[in-house]
Each structure stands twice: as structure tokens, then as C-alpha cells.
Chain A
Amino acid sequence: MPSGTVPRQERIPKNPPLKRLRKSGRILCPVAFSALLFAAFAHAASPARVMSLNLCTDQLAMALAAPGQLISVSFLARDPGLSPMHEEARAYPVNRGLAEEVFLARPDLVVTGTYSLHNTTGLLKRLGFRVEEFGFVQTVGTIPGEIRRMGALLGRERQAEAIADRFETELARIEAEQCDVRPMALAYDQNGVALGAGTLADSVLAAAGFRNMAAEEGLQGMAPFPVESVVSGRPDVIITSSGDGEAPSLGAFVPRHPAILALKGARIGAFVPPGAWSCGGPAVIDAVKALARLRQEIAPCEVAR
């Protein structure tokens, strides 16, 4: 698998979200001047053939594209362990992110991740294709902006606005339910890698009312976290990737190390629906909801009040 297509927003270097917001703001600002004019303009400019090369742009594009507008998605979009929209993805042809595939398909617009398939992106731009890149260092707060940006690119502002609005409303509702009881959680992945500060998971944990142990221990981004530190930190919840149906790997044994299973009182499990927080897309809200429910279950706010 080309490593660039793995949906790990954390592997990607820092990219100030503000810059992206400003960029999307530029695209959106005609809305403020004239809705009518903009609608006409957007309709005229909306690309008829769109190709997505990255698991994360796949999710945004599938959620927003008009029927027939999206001509292919990445092959990872069909992977049930990675993609929350794997069933929808079956309706689309898949690509492997190769420049040749794009060249043959002749899309009007290519959407992909900023740092994935670096060479392909450069090549496609030189060949004259319109390539729009999405950065993936995100938090729950930047996702509505990403949804709106994809909507503007596809000429589907109304749909994007509805989805982004629903996301914001639900997020605000869940955040309002939180209280001072904040159990300690650790997102612990294959090979003993934890999700630290600055990751999407970190912001999801915060929104759902958890503290992130890896971030509090000083971990930045996605980094190795020794089993010993997991045991001595004694988290209340350890969130592992489900790993169901995956081909075997030794790394999968690390989050299931007997030392971790021996921790009394720690809840260990997948908890988050498969793929729900691997990309900054609409599905992240499902991760927030699932974790907020778990938080409510293990440390109810009512008792504290």
C-alpha cells in the first residue's frame, strides 16, 4: 500500500488550520455578496467529473457529490476497517491514486490530501489538471470548514451547509453536556503508538469529556508510547483499534499485552466505530457520540453535581 494513502492525519507535518480556514473563507465570501449570483456562478463552474485520490477526501466527496459527479474514489474507501462509508464506496469505481489513472479518466477536478501521493499531485498539476488539496491536521473544530470547502469545490454549497450545520449543532450539544468529571483516556494503536496532542483523536477525546493521557504525558502527534508508561499512568479507558478481520500483524499484539489486560478497572476496547476518527470528515461526530456515551456510563455527570 502506498504509505501516503494511509489515513493518518497525524503522520502529516503541522499545517496551521487557520490558513486553510482563511482559504476556504475566500472561496465562500461571494455568498455574502449575492446568493443568487453565486448560485448561478457555482452552477456554471461546478466540475462535472471529480476524482478523489485519498481516503479522507473520499468521505467528503461521497457525502456531498451530486449523482454521477464523482467518477472514482480511492481503493481504501472500500476497506471496512478504515472507511466508515465503505458500503457507499461500493457504488463507485476505485482508483489507486496513480497519475496514469487520472490521465486516462480526464477529470475536471482532482481532490486529494496535501501530503499524500506527493509526486502524483505535482505531476498532475504539471499536466494541467486542477488539483485541490486538503490538509489533514485537523480537530473537530475545523471539520465543518472542510465540509463547506468541499461543498464549494463541488458546487454543492447547500448540501455542505446542511451537513456542516448538523455537525456543529451536535458537537455543541455534546460539548455542553460535559462537566468537571473527566476520566483519563488513551488512544492506543497497533505497535504501541499513541495519539498525543494536536491529533484529531485528541480533540475528539476533549469534546467527549475525556482527558488524553498521551497528550498530558507530553506526546505530540502520533508517537510510540511504552507499555510500561501505559501501566504506570493507569488510564480509565484504553481505546484500541478493533482490528477485526485484519490480516495478522505482531503490532496488533501490543495493545493486547498481558500487562495492559491486567490493569484492574481500566476499560479496554475499540469503542469508536471503525474508521470514524481516522479522517476529518462528517463521520467524526459518530466517534464523539460513542465516546461521550462511554464517558457518561463510566463517570456520570449527575453524581458529581
Chain B
Amino acid sequence: MKPLVLNTLLALLALALFLASLGVGPAELGLSESLAGLFAGGSEAAEIIMREIRLPRALLGLAIGFTLGISGAVLQGFLRNPLAEPGIVGVSAMAAFCAVAVFYSGLAGSSLYALPAGALVGALAAVLILMALAARSGSTLTLILAGVALSSLSGALTSLVLNLSPNPFASYEIIFWLLGSLKDRSMEHVVLALPLMAAGWLLIALSGRAIDALSLGEEAAQSLGIHMARTRLLIIAGVALCVGAATAVAGTIGFVGLVVPHLIRPLTNRMPSVLLLPAGLGGAGLLLAADIAARLVLPAGELNVGVLTALIGAPFFLWLVVRSRREAF
């Protein structure tokens, strides 16, 4: 499929799901009421619900889905590892742990700004560890196992910090950090995370030509004039920025970055750079759809969206592992 056609179709899908996301919620607003609330200022309640509750949620679903999709695509391309993804290799989990450590310790009062500050540091540390490992061993398995170890350790430390908090309610928030949610987010969260995510997308996009060349192997890429150190820096900073910011406001949402690039790759010419934008758009679509389902399945209590993405993604991961063994990646 031509990239333009593919991107247009995926953008339309994401847009449709974005609008559907705006229509879902416990307050039963009609279509005209919702539109009036969003644009023209209908009743006060409709206006507040649309602008302060549903719009930030849909925006975050879009942006975080885009982040996870594009990060998965760039990590798979750069590491030449079909199983790489921010969730599986432990970037999200480390980001969540550091956000939790900074926020719940009360070092920054109870300011929301503590969350991205911690999460960016965690994501950066995780990407650096993975890059170092990947540089020393080219094996697919080593990286994934290291990611599993990093995820488990971060998850355990996250639970530990939350259990140690003197606030009795903090331990209930373990589930948010481990399984992610877009519940009760506000424009504050959008303002906090969107600029950081956008900066990350830009850095990842700048690495596009380099990861194409890298698909021919590192030496071939260098002979084509690709500056390896610069590429590595762009990808480290880009993934750390966008995944860190996404995790700071929505917790750990896994598998989106794994599933989407694999589903979309057969529709492209398989050049890693061509996959970046469609993977982002597809990720946005998948997360928005999962978030809508999370609200519809359990209207009062609400499911954590990470539960749904894991239900889709974990079997897919297993299938990839089986297939990759057969094809001896």
C-alpha cells in the first residue's frame, strides 16, 4: 500500500476513535449536547464534562497511543529485534518506578510536575541500559531477557515504594502504575505531557534515514555516511522523552508498541522509516479503542486499560516468540 494511502486511512481511523472516545462516559450526553458542550458552550455541565473530562482523556489516548506505536517501531528498527517495545524491554516500567519514587516520597511536595521529572529519568536510564546491552550482544534473546528482568525489578520497587508510603491510599495506586489508566485525567496532564511527547516524536523522526541504512547492517550504514553515535543519541532521547512523559500521566501500558508495528509492517515496503508514522497512528487507534472498551466493560468501576492491551498483546507476543524460533531470527 502506498504510504500516503496507508497514513490517510490510519489517520481517519484514529480520528473516528478519537470522536467515539469523546462520546463515551457515565453522563449520558446526546450528540448535539456533546458538540455544543465542546465547541459552542452548551449547558454548563455539558461544557465542563466535554472540555475538562472527556477532551483531555481522548487527547491523551491519542498522544500516548502514538508514542507507544512510534517507539515500538523505532526500537524494533534500530535494535533489529522484532520483540523490542517500550513495555517489554522495561522502559515503561522503569519510568513508572522513578515517577513513583519522586512523587510519593514527597520530595516535590505533592506537585504533579514531580511525575514527568521522575519518569524521564527512569526512561532514560532504561534506554541507556538496553543500548549498552545491545551494543555488547547482538542476540534478540539477551535484550528481551534483560528487559524482563528490568520490568520485574521496577514493578517490585514500584510496589515497595507505594506500600511504604505513610498515606494508606497510596498502596491502592499500585494497580494504576502497573496496569495504566486514563481515568480522571485532566488538561493539567495534557499540558504536562504533550509537549514532551511531541519533542520525542520529532527526535525519533529525525533518526528515520539512519535506521533505514542500519537495516543493511552497522558497517554498511557507516559506509553510507550514517553517524552511529548521533543516531543512538537521537533515539535514546526521543524514546526516553515520549515514553517517560506518557508513563508519567498514564502508568505502564504494555504491548501497544509490539502489536501495532507488526500488524502494519506487511502493509508497507518494510523500510523502518516508512513504518514510523503509520505505527504511531495505529498505536493511537489501538489505545483509543482499548480505552473506550475499558469504559464500556465496567461502566462504574472502570477497567485499567493496560489489562485490555495485555489481553490483546500477550498472546501476540507468545505467537511472535514461537514464530521467531521457527524462523531462527
The yes or no verdict on A and B being binding partners is yes
Residue ranges of A at the interface with B (Cβ–Cβ < 8 Å): 1, 3, 6, 190-192, 223-224, 226-229, 231-232, 234, 246-254, 257-259, 262-264
Nearest neighbor of B164 in chain A, beta-carbon distance = A247
Of the candidate stretches B59-67, B148-156, B181-189, the one touching chain A is B181-189
B165 in contact with A247 (CB, 8 Å): yes
Residues on B with beta carbons closer than 8 Å to the beta carbon of A250: 103, 173, 176
In whole angstroms, what is the CA distance A264 to B48 when docked? 10
Q: Smallest CB–CB gap between B48 and chain A, Å?
A: 5
B165 in contact with A249 (CB, 8 Å): yes
Q: Smallest CB–CB gap between B22 and chain A, Å?
A: 12
Q: How many residues of B contact A (CB 8 A)?
A: 33
B184 in contact with A258 (CB, 8 Å): no
A259 in contact with B106 (CB, 8 Å): no
A252 in contact with B169 (CB, 8 Å): yes
In whole angstroms, what is the CA distance A251 to B25 when docked? 20
Q: Smallest CB–CB gap between B51 and chain A, Å?
A: 8
B112 in contact with A253 (CB, 8 Å): yes
In whole angstroms, what is the CA distance A304 to B193 when docked? 50
Instruction: Report if A191-B49 is in contact (Cβ < 8 Å); known contacts: A224-B300, A227-B184, A257-B186.
Output: no
What are the nearest 6 A-B pairs in CB distance?
Answer: A248-B110, A259-B52, A247-B167, A228-B27, A232-B27, A226-B26
Instruction: Report if A262-B52 is in contact (Cβ < 8 Å); known contacts: A223-B300, A250-B173, A252-B110.
Output: yes
Residues on A with beta carbons closer than 8 Å to the beta carbon of B49: 228, 231-232, 259
What are 5 A-to-B residue pairs whose CB atoms are below 8 Å? A228-B26, A247-B106, A247-B170, A251-B173, A259-B186
In whole angstroms, what is the CA distance A231 to B168 when docked? 27
- Asked if B104 is at the interface of the complex by the 8 Å CB criterion, the answer is yes
Nearest neighbor of B115 in chain A, beta-carbon distance = A250
Q: Among the listed A191, A231, A259, which residue makes an inter-chain contact with B169, where contact means beta carbons less than 8 Å apart?
A: A191
Residues on B with beta carbons closer than 8 Å to the beta carbon of A246: 166-167
In whole angstroms, what is the CA distance A10 to B37 when docked? 36
In whole angstroms, what is the CA distance A299 to B48 when docked? 25
In whole angstroms, what is the CA distance A137 to B60 when docked? 40
Residues on A with beta carbons closer than 8 Å to the beta carbon of B170: 247-249
Nearest neighbor of A3 in chain B, beta-carbon distance = B168
Nearest neighbor of B162 in chain A, beta-carbon distance = A249
Residues on A with beta carbons closer than 8 Å to the beta carbon of B106: 247-248
In whole angstroms, what is the CA distance A226 to B24 when docked? 13
Q: Among the listed A6, A190, A247, A258, which residue makes an inter-chain contact with B188, where contact means beta carbons less than 8 Å apart?
A: A258
A263 in contact with B27 (CB, 8 Å): no
Instruction: Report if A258-B52 is in contact (Cβ < 8 Å); known contacts: A248-B110, A264-B44.
Output: yes
Q: Among the listed B26, B104, B301, which residue makes an inter-chain contact with A249, where contact means beta carbons less than 8 Å apart?
A: B104
Q: A248-B110, A253-B112, A257-B184 are in contact. List 17 more A-B contacts (CB 8 A).
A: A6-B168, A224-B302, A226-B25, A227-B53, A228-B49, A228-B53, A246-B166, A247-B106, A248-B103, A249-B110, A251-B172, A251-B173, A257-B52, A257-B53, A259-B53, A263-B44, A264-B44
- Asked if B322 is at the interface of the complex by the 8 Å CB criterion, the answer is no
Residues on B with beta carbons closer than 8 Å to the beta carbon of A254: 184
- Asked if B109 is at the interface of the complex by the 8 Å CB criterion, the answer is yes
- Asked if B233 is at the interface of the complex by the 8 Å CB criterion, the answer is no
Q: Smallest CB–CB gap between B276 and chain A, Å?
A: 32
- Asked if B9 is at the interface of the complex by the 8 Å CB criterion, the answer is no
Residues on B with beta carbons closer than 8 Å to the beta carbon of A223: 300
Instruction: Report if A224-B301 is in contact (Cβ < 8 Å); known contacts: A231-B27, A234-B45.
Output: yes
Nearest neighbor of B110 in chain A, beta-carbon distance = A248
Residues on B with beta carbons closer than 8 Å to the beta carbon of A248: 103-104, 106, 109-110, 114, 167, 170
Residues on B with beta carbons closer than 8 Å to the beta carbon of A253: 112, 184
Residues on B with beta carbons closer than 8 Å to the beta carbon of A226: 25-27, 300
In whole angstroms, what is the CA distance A299 to B281 when docked? 53
